[in-house]
Amino acid sequence: MSNKIYFTPGPTGLYPTVPQHIHKALEDDVCAISHRSKKYEAIHEAAVSNVRALLGLPANFHIFFTGSATEIWDRTLENLVEESTFHLVNGSFSKRYFETALELKKNAKALEVPFGEGFDLKTVEVPAGTEMICLTHNETSSGVSLVVDDIKYIRQNNPNAIIAVDSVSSVPYPKYDWSQLDTLLFSVQKGFGLPAGLGVWVVSDKCIDRSIALQQKGKSIGSYHNLPSLLSKAKVNQTPETPNVLGIYLLAKVGEDMLKRGVDTIRKETDTKADILYNTIIKSSVFEPFVKNYEYSSKTVVVANTKILPSEVNKVLSEVGMQVGSGYAKYKDTQLRIANFPGTSVEQVEKLADCLSKIC
């Protein structure tokens, strides 16, 4: 690994311990292990139990692996919805989840607010009878977050709906109350700092029951990655297909490293680092926070308007071996996206902030 520090929102830089884990995996021939062997099952079990501990997941939730978080959008829609979904759309990824539902021929409706704005979950009105409500906790495109503690209002007002949360670029930071949601999805190339190519799907028993009910009605809920299939293999710490064994091994190892560090420590450091970054861009004459409402400002993906091209900013940062992300899609020349993931330290963020504050 080079010594460059990546503050890019994903794929991001590798979690610092990943190279040593990859070397050990090569030494131990992890890639040659059969996915039907006891050795694999031990790796799988370690990955699941470490993620479970990091998320504080109760026993009525399961963890399954897919090829990407994008795949999980599909799978939630296939397994949990016969007809109707409702989406809170405030950026490119929440919009893509909504569009996926339309492509899969669901009766999908959305409440959309402008890019950079958030939602007051207390007042969101969901059409009666909606089967699944899709929330994007952290909009990687715009840097807007939902208030985690307010998900309870969505639950209170829609007790029968499945509540699905896309937490791609925020896990393991948010502390969820698992009684308030039913399924959560994320990928590993963001907060976990792992090589891309693995999605993690967290699913409650309520979701399993819903998918079985759909199946019993004669609906297609997909094949190898439908929930009954995933569950039956997960019970023996396996997957239906040959999975990304190396990715699951690395998730187990980095999960262990994070648990040793402590998830509360990771959360506190994330807060500290976010404060440093926001304070820096607030004071800057070149940058300013894009999200105006601080309550909705992401702690893990800080988005700043910039008067200087991101490529120019990165030219300056490259002198200290650092790189930030540019804005998403049409904002690529006018915004920065600065990832604040567990893989970077307070000291590194201070160095980044110092460098950014000198750009004027």
Binding site for a copy of itself (CB under 8 A): 1-2, 4, 6, 8, 10-14, 18-19, 22, 26-29, 31-35, 66-71, 73-74, 99-100, 103-105, 187, 189, 194-198, 220, 222-226, 240-247, 325
With beta carbons less than 8 A apart as the criterion, state whether 132 and 162 touch: yes
C-beta closer to a copy of itself: residue 258 or 324: 324
Shortest distance, position 222 Cβ to a copy of itself, whole Å: 7
Helix or strand (DSSP H, E) at 77: helix 69-80
C-beta closer to a copy of itself: residue 33 or 151: 33
C-beta closer to a copy of itself: residue 76 or 145: 76
| Backbone phi and psi for residue 5, each to the nearest 5 degrees, phi listed first | -105, 120
Distance from chain centroid for Cα 27: 30
Q: Which residues contact 128 (CB under 8 A, 6 or more apart)?
A: none
| Backbone phi and psi for residue 186, each to the nearest 5 degrees, phi listed first | -160, 170
C-beta closer to a copy of itself: residue 10 or 172: 10
Shortest distance, position 323 Cβ to a copy of itself, whole Å: 8
C-beta closer to a copy of itself: residue 148 or 302: 302
Shortest distance, position 94 Cβ to a copy of itself, whole Å: 15
Q: Is 65 exposed, middle or buried (0-12, 13-18, 19+ CB in 10 A)?
A: buried
Q: What whole-number distance in Å separates Cα of residue 71 and Cα of residue 79?
A: 12
Shortest distance, position 212 Cβ to a copy of itself, whole Å: 14
Shortest distance, position 10 Cβ to a copy of itself, whole Å: 7
DSSP line for 2-29? -S-EEE-SSS-PPPTTHHHHHHHHHHTT
Shortest distance, position 306 Cβ to a copy of itself, whole Å: 18
C-beta closer to a copy of itself: residue 86 or 341: 341
